[in-house]
Structure 1
Amino acid sequence: MSSADRLATRLATRLAFLVAGFGVSCWAPLVPFAKMRLGVDDGVLGLLLLSLGIGSVVAMLVTGIVSARYGSRPIIIAGGFGLALVLPLLAIAASPATLALALFAFGAALGSIDVAMNIHAVEVERAAHRPLMSGFHALFSIGGFAGSALMTALLSLQFGTLACTLICSVLMLVAMVVTSPRLLRSVQVQEGPLFVLPHGSVLLLALLGAITFLVEGAMLDWGALLVIGAGLVTEAQGGAGYIVFSIAMTAGRLGGDAVVARIGDRATLLWGSLIAIAGFVVLLTASVAAVAIGGFLLIGLGASNLVPVLFRRAARQTVMPTGLAVAAITTAGYAGILVGPAGVGFVARFGGLPMAFWLLAALLGLVALTARIVTKDTHSTMTS
């Protein structure tokens, strides 16, 4: 592969991550409009939102199997175009049943591109012989910010929800048109069974992925309530911590490839998790708002490169086909996002929200304790 081809492939991979982050974030500002349009209560809305999660999980499981036979390229193309084409349907679905179907399809497109782009990313990184995964994941974060910001801006300008989604869909379609011909065309066929239950190191990687994604989901859903409940900020200022967390996460991933190239996967997992744990300690013991915000900053920086490293290790294990291993980690991570915040709420109900956050810090300790185990192989041209 020529230098120009390698650059084009990396661009395509970055755009795939950007489209995935952009697409899913476009839906969040539409939720209140969907609830009002259908006239449903919170209980029904919760069931409808579950359709998105079910679609994602089903697609993630299937994608790992399909990619093992046909490669990641066709799945990325189908998932990216699927997000763009289904998004407007979310703005016009006129009944709970049609919205549930649209959300299931949207979730399936999201789940498929999520797994396939990570499989493609590990292949691109392997060909480059240097860390690239953190930079790819940074584009997902940037896409998420851009999508929610653009959708919110358009809605604030009194554009209709359909017009907003059409504008965003056109942008995604353009990005996918640029992406499609530049993706890797080679198919690395995986021999063996089409489905393998996660085991060995993959099971441990999936557990660590679930923990890391759980932390991210908890910061989104519960971070503001924690600092408001502690009397450090007002309700209007509650979101400041998550904003800082998100900026730190994105900045950490933008610089993450250089960090990993210098210190290796093992040190990244160890020190990243320890920095995040230190952030929790700062956040939970802070007596003033500025110090608490510093805790959000440390958590974002520390956690930023944990997931990219876990995906890289999935590509280097030998107990399962790469596609199935990446699918297992992605599915476990998504389960952490879906189920985790509810678990935090359950713990908070009986022991208080601070106790739930101390538990999150303890779970991150498992990442530090197992860093050596999940990075024990050294047979690679990249630093381990």
Structure 2
Amino acid sequence: MQSDPSLQSVPNTIAVSQQRATRVIFLAAGLSMATWAPLVPFAKARLNIDDGVLGLLLLCLGGGSIVTMPLAGALAARVGCRAIIAGATALICVALPALGGVAATPLLVAALLVFGAGMGAIDVAMNIQAIQVERASGRAMMSGFHGLFSLGGIVGAGAVSALLALGASALQAAVAMAACTAALFLLARPHLLANGRAEGGAPAFALPHGPVLLLGALCFVVFLTEGSVLDWSALFLGSERGVPPALAGLGYAAFSATMTVGRLTGDRVVHRFGGSRVVLAGGVVAALGMALVVAVPAWQAGLAGYALVGAGCSNIVPVLFTAVGRQRAMPESTAVPAMTTLGYAGLLVGPAGIGFVAHALDLRAAFVLTLVLLLGVAACARLLPSGRD
């Protein structure tokens, strides 16, 4: 995708408005994504299903996302990011109340597919917008955008939990968050990129190749790491370190906190040291954090280790999105969804792979494998595409 014409030689006030709109959309996406997590126990209780069935149902969310990602990239090249983000927001706002209220398994399947489709489409379109806005600004901005997504996740999960604690039903909480998501979109809409520029000969979908395959593989590892912390940190702290179940979630909380802070402050770091050095240092720091989790038996060391993993991973994916906007091997409209799809595959498949390794060996061995992969990310830092501007 070529840069939106509205980004060429525009007054500074317009460029600043587009940057703010991008931040708002990342915040809205994080807010809506996090809304689902506190609703999961309520959905399970309404449908009276076991953990195995719930796990299969949750795959629908990822499935919906992976289907729409390449479509969103192709359509954004033709009609612009604004239209794709508008459609994705509509899907999310329709799906959230259903996730909070449906009491039949087929309806929950449909709601998860729609919600996943909306999240996948908005993920691709907002990152295409972010690449173009960052490129036009001439300075590092991607970490800050992704930091707003992380912040939105914290705010969204906290807001839903607070509403439920105050006596709201799951449906009422979901409707409230859908309204917030819609309001944030309306706030950002006037300054989202409206013009699409179809790239000559660009296919609607293409398998990643060249530097995009490398970037996608690195994204896969970082998302796999995030998924392993999300799904396995509490179990590890409880079973291996003797942490009470009520406190075992502190591992992921430490990871999320340092990731959010790292991203919100990351633009200055990337500007000063460059993307390749940030990926190198980030991979090493994350690997050291995982080593601390595995090697030191004290649970406090485990929390510190997960905090280091979050800090190390925080700016790797934003740098990868900047890099995918610089490469020339694939059009932007196919490169972004290709890399994003590989990343989501890590988030979906990775935790299951960790489980297989843990079953065959043990959970510590699975985390050691993640450590090795993170060192591989660090080793590949020098191969990132350089700027083309």
CA-CA distance at 1:283 after TM superposition: 1.6
| Aligned residue pairs, count | 379
CA-CA distance at 1:8 after TM superposition: 1.1
1:314 and 2:324 are equivalent in the alignment: yes
Instruction: Decide which of 200, 208, 216 is 1:191's aligned counterpart.
Output: 200
User: Which residue in the other structure is 1:352 paired with?
Assistant: 362
Instruction: Decide which of 286, 294, 316 is 2:296's aligned counterpart.
Output: 286
The whole-number CA distance in structure 1 between the counterparts of 2:209 and 2:13 is: 39
Instruction: Decide which of 24, 27, 30 is 1:15's aligned counterpart.
Output: 24
CA-CA distance at 1:38 after TM superposition: 2.0
TM-score normalised by length of structure 2: 0.94
Equivalent residue letter for 1:335: A
Instruction: Decide which of 34, 56, 59 is 1:25's aligned counterpart.
Output: 34
- Verify the 8 A CA contact 2:327 2:388 in the aligned structure 1: no
CA-CA distance at 1:261 after TM superposition: 0.2
TM-score normalised by length of structure 1: 0.95
User: Which residue in the other structure is 1:167 paired with?
Assistant: 176
CA-CA distance at 1:102 after TM superposition: 1.4
1:324 and 2:334 are equivalent in the alignment: yes
Instruction: Decide which of 249, 274, 291 is 2:259's aligned counterpart.
Output: 249
CA-CA distance at 1:232 after TM superposition: 4.8
User: Which residue in the other structure is 2:306 paired with?
Assistant: 296
Instruction: Decide which of 346, 358, 380 is 1:370's aligned counterpart.
Output: 380
CA-CA distance at 1:98 after TM superposition: 1.5
User: Which residue in the other structure is 2:4 paired with?
Assistant: none
Instruction: Decide which of 37, 46, 53 is 2:46's aligned counterpart.
Output: 37
- Verify the 8 A CA contact 1:276 1:298 in the aligned structure 2: yes
1:208 and 2:218 are equivalent in the alignment: yes
The whole-number CA distance in structure 1 between the counterparts of 2:196 and 2:231 is: 40
When the two chains are superposed, the root-mean-square deviation of aligned CA atoms in Å is 1.4
- Verify the 8 A CA contact 1:16 1:80 in the aligned structure 2: no
The whole-number CA distance in structure 1 between the counterparts of 2:252 and 2:352 is: 18
CA-CA distance at 1:352 after TM superposition: 0.5
For structure 2, which runs of at least 5 residues remain unmatched after alignment? 1-9
Deviations 1:180-202 (A, max 9, x none): 11112232321213232211110
The whole-number CA distance in structure 1 between the counterparts of 2:198 and 2:32 is: 29
Equivalent residue letter for 2:17: A
SS at match of 1:316: coil
- Verify the 8 A CA contact 2:206 2:338 in the aligned structure 1: no
SS at match of 2:274: helix
Equivalent residue letter for 1:284: V
CA-CA distance at 1:45 after TM superposition: 2.3
Deviations 1:22-78 (A, max 9, x none): 111111111121122122333332332222121111011211222232222211121
Equivalent residue letter for 2:352: A
Moved more, 95-104 or 105-114: 95-104
1:234 and 2:247 are equivalent in the alignment: no
- Verify the 8 A CA contact 1:68 1:324 in the aligned structure 2: no
CA-CA distance at 1:170 after TM superposition: 1.3
CA-CA distance at 1:363 after TM superposition: 0.5
1:144 and 2:141 are equivalent in the alignment: no
Moved more, 136-145 or 156-165: 156-165
* Seq. identity, %: 45
The whole-number CA distance in structure 2 between the counterparts of 1:8 and 1:367 is: 35
- Verify the 8 A CA contact 2:34 2:156 in the aligned structure 1: yes
Matched ranges for 1:53-72 at <5 A: 53-72=62-81
- Verify the 8 A CA contact 2:79 2:195 in the aligned structure 1: no
CA-CA distance at 1:19 after TM superposition: 1.1
Instruction: Decide which of 83, 90, 115 is 1:106's aligned counterpart.
Output: 115
The whole-number CA distance in structure 2 between the counterparts of 1:235 and 1:36 is: 20
CA-CA distance at 1:107 after TM superposition: 0.8
